C-alpha cells in the first residue's frame, strides 16, 4: 500500500473546493488551532487529559464528512472524549460550527490523514472507533485507496482496547464484501452480527448524515459492528 514515500496511498479525494463563509474562516483560523490534537506522542500518552472536562472514554471517528455524527454523539455521550478526523476543509468548518453552536467540550479535531493520528496513539487507548461510509473508490483500479486494508487494521488493533467496539458502514456492495472479508481474515476483530437484521438495520444510536441520506451507493446501508478481541 506504500508508494515511493513511506506515506500510505491517499484514501481521500478533494480536501477543499468552495470558499468558506466569513464565520467558517474565522472558526478555522481561531477555533481549530485550539481544538487540534497535537501531533506529539508525549502529549498523546495521556489522551484523556486533552479534554477540558473529565471524560472516561476515548472514541475516534475517521473521515467524519460534515460532522453531523460526531456532534450528535458528543452531545449524547459527555463521558466520551472524541478524536474526530477529516481532511476536507468544508467538513471541518461545518463541524467547527456545530461544536461552537452546541458548546461541545468533548471533541478534538485532527485535520490530517487519520492513519497518521492512529500511528501516534499509545497502545490500547481507544474504547470506540467509527468508520462510516468511507470513500468507496468503486472502480476496481482504485480499490487500493480504500481505507480498510490489512496494515490499517493492524494499526487499529494496536490502539483499540480489548473489548473496544468498531463500527463500519457502507452502501457500496463491493466495499461491504471486501471490508467484511478483510476484518474477518485479520483475526483481531469479532463480528457481532448473529442475524441479518444486525447488519442491515441501523444501530439504535446511529446518527444519519447528509451524505448517508444521498444514497449514492448501490445497496441499502450495512452496519458492521466489531469488537476487538481480548
By annotation, the residues acting in catalysis are 135
Q: Please give the C-alpha separations between residue 79 and each of 10, 47, 106, 166, in angstroms, as whole numbers.
A: 33, 14, 8, 18
3-class secondary structure, 64: coil
Is residue 12 close enough to count as binding ligand SAM by CB under 6 A? yes
3-class secondary structure, 36: strand
Count, residues in the chain: 230
User: CB of residue 210 vs ligand SAM: minimum separation in angstroms?
Assistant: 7
Measured in degrees and rounded to the nearest 5, phi and psi for residue 156 equal: -65, -40
Adjacency order of strands within the sheet including 160-170: 107-110, 80-85, 57-62, 126-132, 160-170, 222-228, 189-191
Is residue 170 close enough to count as binding ligand SAM by CB under 6 A? no
Is residue 174 close enough to count as binding ligand SAM by CB under 6 A? no
Q: Using CA atoms, how far apart are residues 166 and 191, in angstroms rounded to an integer?
A: 10
Q: With respect to ligand SAM, which residue has the nearer C-beta, 144 or 229?
A: 144
Is residue 152 close enough to count as binding ligand SAM by CB under 6 A? no
Q: Using CA atoms, how far apart are residues 114 and 98, in angstroms rounded to an integer?
A: 21
DSSP secondary structure code for residue 37 in this structure: P
List strand residue ranges (DSSP E) for the chain, in order: 57-62, 80-85, 107-110, 126-132, 160-170, 189-191, 222-228
User: CB of residue 12 vs ligand SAM: minimum separation in angstroms?
Assistant: 3
Binding string to ligand SAM for residues 121 to 140, with x set by CB under 6 A, is what? -----------xxxx-----
Which of 90, 127, 171, 212 forms a contact with ligand SAM (CB under 6 A)? 212
Part of the chain binding ligand SAM (CB under 6 A), chosen from 40-48, 112-120, 154-162, 179-187 = 112-120
Cell, residue 12? 481521500
Is residue 153 close enough to count as binding ligand SAM by CB under 6 A? no
Q: With respect to ligand SAM, which residue has the nearer C-beta, 191 or 211?
A: 211
Which of 113, 153, 189, 222 forms a contact with ligand SAM (CB under 6 A)? 113
User: CB of residue 144 vs ligand SAM: minimum separation in angstroms?
Assistant: 13
CA dihedral over 88, 205, 57, 171, signed as positive or negative:
negative
Is residue 85 close enough to count as binding ligand SAM by CB under 6 A? yes
Is residue 217 close enough to count as binding ligand SAM by CB under 6 A? no
Is residue 180 close enough to count as binding ligand SAM by CB under 6 A? no
Q: With respect to ligand SAM, which residue has the nearer C-beta, 193 or 207?
A: 207
Residues making contact with ligand SAM (CB under 6 A)? 11-12, 62-65, 85-88, 91, 113-115, 132-135, 147, 209, 211-212
Amino acid at each position: 500500500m506504500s508508494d515511493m514515500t513511506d506515506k500510505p496511498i491517499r484514501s481521500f479525494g478533494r480536501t477543499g473546493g468552495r470558499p468558506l463563509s466569513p464565520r467558517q474562516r474565522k472558526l478555522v483560523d481561531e477555533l481549530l488551532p485550539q481544538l487540534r490534537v497535537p501531533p506529539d506522542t508525549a502529549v498523546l500518552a495521556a489522551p484523556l487529559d486533552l479534554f477540558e472536562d473529565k471524560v472516561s472514554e476515548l472514541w475516534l471517528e475517521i473521515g467524519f464528512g460534515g460532522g453531523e455524527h460526531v456532534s450528535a454523539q458528543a452531545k449524547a455521550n459527555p463521558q466520551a472524549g472524541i478524536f474526530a478526523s477529516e481532511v476536507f476543509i468544508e467538513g471541518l468548518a461545518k463541524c467547527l460550527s456545530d461544536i461552537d453552536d452546541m458548546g461541545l467540550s468533548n471533541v478534538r479535531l485532527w485535520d490530517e490523514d487519520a492513519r497518521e493520528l492512529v500511528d501516534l496513539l499509545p497502545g490500547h487507548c481507544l474504547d470506540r472507533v467509527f468508520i462510516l461510509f468511507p470513500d468507496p473508490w468503486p472502480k476496481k483500479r482504485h480499490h487500493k485507496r480504500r481505507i480498510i486494508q490489512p496494515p490499517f487494521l493492524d494499526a487499529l488493533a494496536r490502539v483499540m482496547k480489548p473489548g473496544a467496539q468498531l463500527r463500519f458502514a457502507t452502501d457500496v456492495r463491493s466495499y461491504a464484501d471486501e471490508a467484511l472479508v478483510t476484518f474477518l481474515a485479520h483475526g483481531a476483530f469479532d463480528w457481532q452480527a448473529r442475524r441479518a437484521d444486525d447488519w442491515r438495520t441501523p444501530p439504535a444510536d446511529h446518527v444519519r448524515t447528509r451524505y448517508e441520506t444521498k444514497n449514492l451507493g448501490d445497496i441499502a446501508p450495512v452496519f458492521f459492528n466489531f469488537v476487538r478481541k481480548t
